Amino acid sequence: MTTDLSAPPTRGSTTTAGRGNSPRPPFGVSVVSVLAVLIALFSLIPLGYVVYMTAATGWDTAVELIFRPRVGELLLNTVLLILFTVPLCLILGVGGAWLVERTTLRAHRIWAVLLAAPLAIPAFVNSYAWVSAVPSLEGLGSGVLIATLSYFPLVYIPAAATLSRLDPAIEQSASALGLGAWRVFFRVVLPQLRLAITGGALLVALHLLAEYGAFAMIRFDTFTTAIMVQFQSTFNGTAGNMLASVLVFFCLILLLLEARGRGSARYARVGSGAQAKALRLPLHAYQVPAQLFLLTLTALAFGLPLFFVLRWIVAGGTGVWAADEFLPALLQTLGYGLAGALVTTAVAFPMAYLAVRHPSWFSKSLELSNYITSSLPGIVVGLAFVTVSIRLVPGVYQTAGVLVAAYVLLFLPRALVNLRAGLAQAPKELDEAAQSLGKPPLLSFIRVTLRLSAPAAAGGAALVFLAITNELTATLLLSPNGTRTLATEFWSKSSEIDYSGAAPYALLMILLSAPMTYLLFQQSKKVAGQ
């Protein structure tokens, strides 16, 4: 029996969405597209601010302010910081991931979590602990030390996730062809880690450009610390704006280098079938050195900061736990974190829906705008909102809404990536079936798509919450008068050399960040398997 697909449906028949077509979105494709475009335009505010301020300054003045010895000094510091820190993070991250996932390392499951743990400690808390241990720390070497110990998990987590899901059959084939263990690693395994390495290196570099507190504490000048000094002395003066334009240019160069380094090669298996069980390389005599190496690394990156935080708490006694001081900071941090996480996740929905259900150059362009903005340091986003709010809508300057809006722009990709993965796992055929049974698009979206993507949305919201909890620069610039978050109170007290008073805020940030860091580690392994 055949069916004429070109014939119109007869009276009383039911027409369903054809296979391969997308179900109707809850508010129509045009409405979702308009929302996504508005979000993309909103996300370009910081970049537009930099372009406008550079143009308004005038070519002669801009050249004079950019091409001066101070900018050259900051540029040299930044380049050297990146050139030393990124390779060290790559070595520690990839090396740690390989030991955990591909060798007979004892207690490898425990080490897998411990190597991700330093990410729960904000870099400025790490710097505070190291200054407590060695008060004379300052300069480039100290910056490289603290940044490496703070950011190597950004390489370790994606590298470990990739190795855990990498089909070992390719390694076994290389070994069968006579390649030794080291040649297999460099010629077979390492190329498979290309995406993890380039992505991790980009994240580390962008964090180095954005970090303020860690480098200010050890008196190491970078673009971000210099911009903050300019803002505090001249309130968003021309010199600070020109430094911000150089910093943004630097970020865009890093994005282009990462895209070029990532390449267009495919790293996925084609076809189904059972994945072979990974054969772990015996460590033999290297078991003890490997254990000592990981023990030293985690002790320096996680143990030392935690030790000095607890030491300062003990030294301060019960007085540092005065509820009228730390409780408002904790509650406001939780409030801003929850509000920012919910708003960011909601804002990410239209763009994620278009990217998954209606992929095109249009949806990819909208996504790219958010990634560009999120790569900008928090201080640039903060300066943009300060300028825009004062000049266009002065009534909203230093309000909670402006601060939450800045959080949305800074951390939107964290929610967007998770939502995109969650929507991709929600079969559109179920939505089509619900609509073919007479359910309105909005109801079918809530009962089917939203329900199935809820875990991914919750994961993205948790990661946004973690980022907001530890955010410092944008909060310092935009927070309303009287705002007290854990990060700003910690910074205020540590700047006054009240290390005992700062310790409770540091500990609370670590306790809030730890479960979110574990969630990020577990989620990365799931994403690597998709």
Angle at 328 between CA 324 and CA 334, to 5 degrees: 150
pLDDT exceeds cutoff 80 at 29: no
Specify the length of the chain in residues: 530
Q: What is the pLDDT at residue 2?
A: 42
pTM: 0.82
| Domain definitions of the chain by residue range | 29-265+285-528
Contact 225, 70 (CB under 8 A): no
Residues facing 161 on adjacent strands: none
How many percent of the chain have pLDDT more than 70? Answer: 81
Residues 125-168: pLDDT tens digits? 999 999 999 999 999 999 999 999 999 998 998 888 888 777 66
Residues 360-417: pLDDT tens digits? 888 778 877 777 877 788 888 888 898 888 888 888 888 999 999 999 999 988 888 7
Helix (H/G/I), strand (E/B), else coil: 281: strand
Class of domain 29-265+285-528 as given by CATH = mainly alpha
- CA–chain centroid gap for 339, Å, is 18
Q: What is the pLDDT at residue 415?
A: 85
Q: What is the pLDDT at residue 363?
A: 79
At 228, is the pLDDT very low, low, confident or very high (cuts 50, 70, 90)?
confident
How many percent of the chain have pLDDT more than 90? Answer: 33
Average pLDDT over residues 504-512: 93
Q: Is 360 exposed, middle or buried (0-12, 13-18, 19+ CB in 10 A)?
A: exposed
At 256, is the pLDDT very low, low, confident or very high (cuts 50, 70, 90)?
confident
At 14, is the pLDDT very low, low, confident or very high (cuts 50, 70, 90)?
very low
Structure tokens at 410: 């800074």
Structure tokens at 455: 């875990």
Average pLDDT over residues 350-358: 82
Contact 193, 159 (CB under 8 A): yes
pLDDT exceeds cutoff 80 at 11: no
Lowest mean per-residue pLDDT among 87-91, 93-97, 223-227, 417-421: 417-421
Lowest mean per-residue pLDDT among 16-25, 106-115, 316-325, 326-335: 16-25
Lowest mean per-residue pLDDT among 57-71, 182-196, 421-435: 421-435
For 470-497, the DSSP string reads H--HHHHHHPPTT---HHHHHHHHHHTT
